[in-house]
Each structure stands twice: as C-alpha cells, then as structure tokens.
Structure 1
Amino acid sequence: MRSLANEWFEIVKGKTIWTIFLVPLIVAVLFGYLFSNNQINETHLAIIDEDNSAYSRQLINNLDASQYIQVDQVFHSAMDPNMLFYNEKYAAVLYMPLGLEQNRYTGKQTNIGLVLDNTIPTVTTFVRQGVQEVFTTENTQNGIGKLKAMGLSDEAAVATQSGLALQQRSLYNPNSEFIMISVIGFMTTLIVSFMLKNGSAIIPRLRSEGLWEEELSRPLGILARPLPYIMFTTASILLAMGLLKQVGGMRFAGSPMDFLIPTFLFTSVTYYLAMAVTWTVSNPDKAFGRTLFILIPSSLLSGLLIPVPMLPAILQTLSKFVPINYYLKFVRGIGFRGGSLSYFPQEMGMLLLMQAFLFVIIGLLIWRDKRRLAQQTAKVESPTPALSKGISTV
C-alpha cells in the first residue's frame, strides 16, 4: 500500500497526470479533425470535348453538378492527357469524341474515355464514382419503350439506352503498388527526420563548443555550414530512388537531372529551416526535440498520412507552406508521370521563396546575436562610474 501511495503522490504532484489525460484528448481532436472528410468532393477534372455540341455541353454541366467533380477546364481539340497530369492540376481527364451528339440521335453507342492519375488512388476513386453516376443517370433517362415507339429496332433501342460506354484507364500506378505509395512515404519520413536531426545540431554544437562568438564574425560561413549535408542528402535520395527502380521495380519515367534540382532545393530548405528553428538552443541533445514541431505537421499536411484533397479546407491551404508537399509533387510529377521541370514553375517558385525567406530570417538572427555580443563586450570593457571617478582624481 505504501508503494501504491508513493506512486499516487508522484503522479499527482508532477506533470504525468496532465500528460495521461491531455495527450489522448489532443490526439483525438487532431486526428478527428484531420479525418473529418471521409470522401473527396469537387475533384479537379479536365475534359477534352472534340464534339463541342449542345449534348456534350449538357453532359459537361451534369458532370460539373456532381458533388464529386469540379470541371476546371474544357479543351476542344485533341491533346495528350499526360500534359494535364504532370503538376497535379487535374486528377482525371475525360475524352468526348467527335460525333457524340450524332450517335445519340442515331442510336449508336459512343465510347467515352476516362483517364485517371492513379498515383494517389484514393483521389481517383471518387471522381470515378461521380462520372459513373452521371453516365448511369444519362443512360437510363431515355426509356427503351419510348425509343421503340419512335420506330427504333430493339438493338438500336438497347444501344441508345446504354449510349455512353465509359472506357477507363488508370495511368502511372494502375495496380496501386505499395512501393509507389507506402514505401515512398516511409522513406521520405525517415529522410526528413535525419535532415532535421543533422540540421538542428549545427548552431547548438557551435554554442556548446564555445565557437559561436568566433563564428559570428563570418556570417557567410554560418550560411555555408549546411551545404555538405545538403549535397550528401541529395545524393542519398537520388541513390535510393535508383535502387527502388532497379531492385523494387518502382516506376521512374522522368529525367534524373530534372529531379536533381528540386531535390537539392527541398533538402536545402529543410536544413535551413531546422537551423532557424533551433537557433537559440544551447545543447545539440536538446535541439531535435524542437524540430518535432516541424516533422509532425509536415507529416500530417503533406499527404503522407492522408491525401491532401481529403483534408479540411484550411489545412489544404496550410499544406502549401510545407516543403515535403512539394517534394512529393516532384516525385509523382517527374518520377512517376515522366514530366519535365518546365511543368513546375509554381512549385519551384514556392521553394525558392521559402529559401529566400529562411535566408532573411537567419540573417536577422545573425545580426541580432552580433549586436548582443557587441553590447556585452562594450559593457565589460567600459569602467564602472566609481572607478572612472577615482582614476580622474588621481
């Protein structure tokens, strides 16, 4: 009983009791909010409408009215659907061929193509469901009896009843292989963890070793310190991607040189972010704990845990400021889809803005520390008033 009482008082007097109650509550609220959307609505769809008829426009309006679909753009000439997938602007492309309206009134079946970007299978599931619902409704609106009364044969009436045949094709990851989803996510999490650990130790190590005052006299030297880590990490990522392709059979259709540039920029942003966040930490052992405030939100908002389109709207906006989100876009867009770097001006621009912002922040931190050091030096070197008075008397 005494041991039980001791443990009871130990829990009550410390922070353990708050941890026991608060952690599950925080996790429940956080993940409950993250997974509050159990389906994806308004998935972005592009339509290639070669028919450009009144009936094709009616179908487009019906598709846009579906809760699962948002028709963002309609093209009226043939084009390669891959061009629309590289930067993830659209999740699917619907192709309406020439003669769609004519086939409807002559009782002929029309094959309509639905091309899906299956690098994120969860997203395409709902757009596929939305298109199928619209086509099923459209096919059943024309009754067979009414068509036969108009003089159509049984064969023509059945063809008109199912006048729209949806031909689906899943691109890039048709079998939903884990190596292109779970393995990439797990590897990315580990890489980011190592980057945060190494980047967070740079400034605290200089402080603990007593080299910080000397280093402040060389600001460019401080900015250059993460460069070896950045180069080695970039090389490590490229090597890992190559091994996944050769050993695991992962699809990598893009140019390694195109992938090199954004990977280098992503690792650079991550290292400098870790350095800025742990700037005031005095001991390397304590630095990594602070980077958890980067790692956890990054994992939640980047699509590693749940696809970004399934997040609440405000979290989707916040995800635009998460570097991992852009790195994964480059993995899917350049690696899986085979796009070139020219398709990602916005993503590259955001990473460059992040890098410039971090340089400004670090520059201000260096200026602040140099100013404090100068004030402390001046205070130590200046004599006290009493001592100054005694010296002048003599």
Structure 2
Amino acid sequence: MNVNSLRDEVRFLFSGQGMPYEKVCLMVAAVVCIVLGLMLSSNFSHDARVVVIDLDNSAYSHELTSRIDASEYMKVTAVLNTPVDPSTLFYRDQAVAVIYFPRGLEKDRYTGAENHVGVFYDNTNTAQTSDIKIALNELIGLDNAAEQGDTGSTNDSISGTIGLADRNLFNPSGSNYNVEVQGFLFFFGSMFFTFATIGMVPRLRLSHQLDKILLEGTPWDILVRLVPYGACLAVSFVFGMAILRLLGDMTFSGSLLTFLFVQVFYVLTVGTMSVLFGWTAANPGIASSRMILFIPGGFIFGGPTGPISFYPDWVVAASHLFPLTWEFHFVRDIIARGAGFADISKEFGAFLLYMAVVLILFCAKFFSARRALLKRQAQDELHRQKMQQLSLEESAAAGQAE
C-alpha cells in the first residue's frame, strides 16, 4: 500500500498538474548560489554617493573634497556652494551622506581655532553609513595629525582643531520599526496580494468565463477584477503602519494622501504583472508558484534587507525590473524623509513609464489570446463542417447502395 502511494505521488509530481518542483528546486539552488552570489558579493559601501555643501570654497575645502572622492567608500556626486536643506538631497536615494564645510574652515584650520565639518547621514538603513563614518573619521584624524606634524608640535596630548559634527536623519534612533519591520509589511502584503490574484486567469479559464471575456470584452474587464484585492492591500498597509506607529516608534514624516495616491498605481502595476505571469498556468495552484519571479527580487534589492550602496550600479539598475523596488523608493521618500509629491515627481514619472510597459505587455497578451481563440474556433468550425460534409456523403453513399 505504501509503495502504491509513493508511486502515485511520484506520478503526480511529474504529471505537470501541480507545481513543477523537480525543476523549481534546481532553479532556486542555481539562482541563489550563482546569481545572488554575484549580486551580493560586496559587503561594504563602495563609492556611496555623497553630496558636499562647500560654503568655505577654499583650497583646503577643495582638497578635502578630493580626498573624500578618492576614498573607495565614497563618491562625490555634487558640490554646492550655497546653503541647502540637507534632507532634500536624500530624496530618490540621491545621496547617502551630505558633508557640510562651514565658512572660515581653512582660516580656522591654520590659525588653530576649533571648527567642525558637519555630516548628515541617511539613517533609513543603519548599515549603509557605517563604512562612511569610519572613513570620514580616519580622514579628519589623519589631516589633524598631518597639521600637528607641520607645526612641529611634539606634545601628543594636542588634539586636532577640525572635528566632525554628525547627525543621523530620518531614523535617528536606528529603530527596526522604520526599516526591517516596515519592509516586511510591504513585502508580505505584496506577496499575498499576488497569491490572491495570480490565479485569476486560470480560474476564469477553468470556469469557462475567459473565452467570453476574450471575445466580447476588453483588457479592462480583467483588470477591474483587481479593485477589491487592491483596496484590501491599501487598507492593510495603513492598518499595519498604524500598529507600528502606536505600538512601536515608526516615524511617518510625509503625507498619507500622497502615499495612498502612489499606492493606486503600485497596486495596478503589481496586479497586472500578477495576472500576466499567471496567464498560461494550467490552474491557480501552478500559477501561485510564479510569484517568486517578480516579488522577492524587489525585497532583496530594494533596500530593506541590505543597503543599496552595497550593490554595484548594474544591480541597482536591474532591481527596477521588480515592482517592489519602486515601492520601497516611495516608502523611504514619503514616509521616512517627508517628501511631497513634487519631490518624488521624477521618480514617479519613471514609475509611470514602467507601469505603461507592463500594461502594454498585458494588452498584447490579451489580444494575442483573443486571436488564438478566434483561430481555434475557426479551425473547430471548419472541422465540424468537414465532418458534417463527410456524414452527408456517407449517408448518400448508403442510400445509393440500398
């Protein structure tokens, strides 16, 4: 009896009626060990983007800027010579740190007066700034040591005149409620939303509703079915953040209306991709296994599990193929950094282009399926007419024989 059960289950495993686990298990092992191993090979911030606000605009501040840019941990992407609100320079992940050189820095350095270089860190991910902090402290320490050597001082107790005054922005306490827990909220919410919608087309096919929609309807007749699921997802996001705010110490610096407005487009995009990926599945169970193709990648490379500054540029660019990557960009800007809609307009415009591509692919799939259905019906009709003609000929031949 046990042998028969085992034989029956093995037959089902390779029948194609369920998840093709014999292929999925090997694919997962290959992806984790080869692809993710290559993408996650760096474990430090390499050429993290840094913006310099240089109000001193002196030879000394230019020299410090060059030293910072020469560090393997930092890359100076912009130098500004006018006062700017540092928090605005972090929108769209443009920078990991902003370095502020005050007026009179060069003068104070050579006269021995005390002064400080200001540093503002983006603490939306506490791990991304650790290497930068060490590098900046070493740079200033070596500079002060060199200055003591130039003055000929032999008193080891003399400290440097230039120090660092740093400040952690957006998540000063380094709370997990603002990073890991919040990241899991959007990841698991998106994952179960996908589970609920990815089997929609296979379900319609099994219930014989899909053919009618293809022949008489439009792509919107399928996408409109996402509305109740999307509404539930948006409510769950707000409900989850309310819990994190009341029971934890999550910060919400932006506008809830701006956040919800963006979610409308995010939900439509993820739902469309979900329906598109599950279209060809034989049944909803097989469709569910395809969630892994476009949801987890955004969680891994979108920022909550590891700092974006750890990844090579090509990995950061490729990560935007996953919709959850865009979601985490908006979450950091709106929720953590307090950005308004105008502040995220550039990123939102790029996301609209991404959404447009997804919708075009979905419409192409819809009309391709319609053409295939019409062709199949034409072939069935032709076959029916041939069989009918053959039946008439056989009847006539039988009549002649009588």
Shift, 1:206, TM fit: 0.4
CA distance in 2, matches of 1:17, 1:379: 36
Letter in 1 for 2:69: D
Task: Name the structure 2 match of 1:175.
Answer: 173
Task: Name the structure 1 match of 2:204.
Answer: 206
8 A contact 1:269–1:351 mirrored in 2: no
CA distance in 1, matches of 2:223, 2:190: 20
8 A contact 1:278–1:287 mirrored in 2: yes
CA distance in 2, matches of 1:373, 1:199: 23
Letter in 2 for 1:54: A
8 A contact 1:66–1:134 mirrored in 2: no
User: What is the aligned length?
Assistant: 377
CA distance in 1, matches of 2:298, 2:202: 23
Shift, 1:72, TM fit: 0.9
Q: Encode CA deviations 1:217-255: one digit per residue, 9 max, x unaligned.
A: 111312322122222211221222222212222100111
8 A contact 2:185–2:237 mirrored in 1: no
Q: What SS does the aligned partner of 1:369 have?
A: helix
CA distance in 1, matches of 2:131, 2:311: 15
Task: Name the structure 2 match of 1:246.
Answer: 246
Shift, 1:86, TM fit: 2.5
Shift, 1:360, TM fit: 1.2
Task: Name the structure 1 match of 2:400.
Answer: none
Shift, 1:265, TM fit: 1.5
CA distance in 2, matches of 1:234, 1:22: 33
8 A contact 2:190–2:233 mirrored in 1: no
370-379 or 18-27: bigger deviation: 18-27
- Out of 180, 184, 187, the position equivalent to 2:185 is 187
Identity percentage over the alignment?
26
Q: How does 1:163-312 map to 2 (within 5 A)?
A: 163-216=161-214, 217-219=216-218, 220-312=220-312
Q: What SS does the aligned partner of 2:300 have?
A: helix
Q: What SS does the aligned partner of 1:87 have?
A: helix
In the alignment, structure 1 residue 333 sits paired with structure 2 residue 338: no
Shift, 1:145, TM fit: 7.2
Q: Encode CA deviations 1:304-338: one digit per residue, 9 max, x unaligned.
A: 33222212443222112221112112211111111
Q: What SS does the aligned partner of 2:41 have?
A: coil
Task: Name the structure 2 match of 1:342.
Answer: 342
TM-score scaled to structure 2, two decimals?
Answer: 0.85
| Change in 2 beyond 3 A, CA 1:313/1:51 | closer
Shift, 1:108, TM fit: 0.9
| Change in 2 beyond 3 A, CA 1:374/1:291 | same
CA distance in 1, matches of 2:24, 2:390: 56
CA distance in 2, matches of 1:386, 1:67: 79
Q: For structure 1, list consecutive stretches of 5 or more residues without a partner in the other structure.
A: none
CA distance in 2, matches of 1:231, 1:268: 11
Shift, 1:380, TM fit: 2.6
- Out of 134, 137, 141, the position equivalent to 2:139 is 134
CA distance in 2, matches of 1:27, 1:232: 32
CA distance in 2, matches of 1:187, 1:17: 31
Q: How does 1:72-151 map to 2 (within 5 A)?
A: 72-143=77-148, 146-147=151-152
CA distance in 2, matches of 1:246, 1:344: 27
Q: For structure 2, list consecutive stretches of 5 or more residues without a partner in the other structure.
A: 15-19, 397-402
Task: Name the structure 2 match of 1:55.
Answer: 60
Letter in 2 for 1:331: V
Letter in 1 for 2:142: T
CA distance in 1, matches of 2:364, 2:24: 36
| Change in 2 beyond 3 A, CA 1:54/1:280 | same
Q: What SS does the aligned partner of 1:120 have?
A: coil
8 A contact 2:96–2:129 mirrored in 1: yes
376-385 or 170-179: bigger deviation: 376-385
Letter in 2 for 1:40: S
Q: What SS does the aligned partner of 2:165 have?
A: strand
378-387 or 306-315: bigger deviation: 378-387
Task: Name the structure 1 match of 2:73.
Answer: 68
CA distance in 1, matches of 2:208, 2:307: 45
8 A contact 1:86–1:338 mirrored in 2: no
Task: Name the structure 1 match of 2:399.
Answer: none
Q: How does 1:356-367 map to 2 (within 5 A)?
A: 356-367=356-367
294-303 or 212-221: bigger deviation: 294-303
CA distance in 2, matches of 1:55, 1:24: 52
262-271 or 17-26: bigger deviation: 17-26
Shift, 1:143, TM fit: 2.8
Shift, 1:303, TM fit: 2.6
- Out of 37, 40, 53, the position equivalent to 1:35 is 40
CA distance in 2, matches of 1:112, 1:195: 47
CA distance in 1, matches of 2:111, 2:28: 66
315-324 or 31-40: bigger deviation: 31-40
Instruction: State the Cα RMSD in Å.
Output: 3.0
Q: How does 1:367-386 map to 2 (within 5 A)?
A: 367-382=367-382, 383-384=385-386
| Change in 2 beyond 3 A, CA 1:59/1:198 | same
TM-score scaled to structure 1, two decimals?
Answer: 0.87
CA distance in 2, matches of 1:63, 1:184: 33
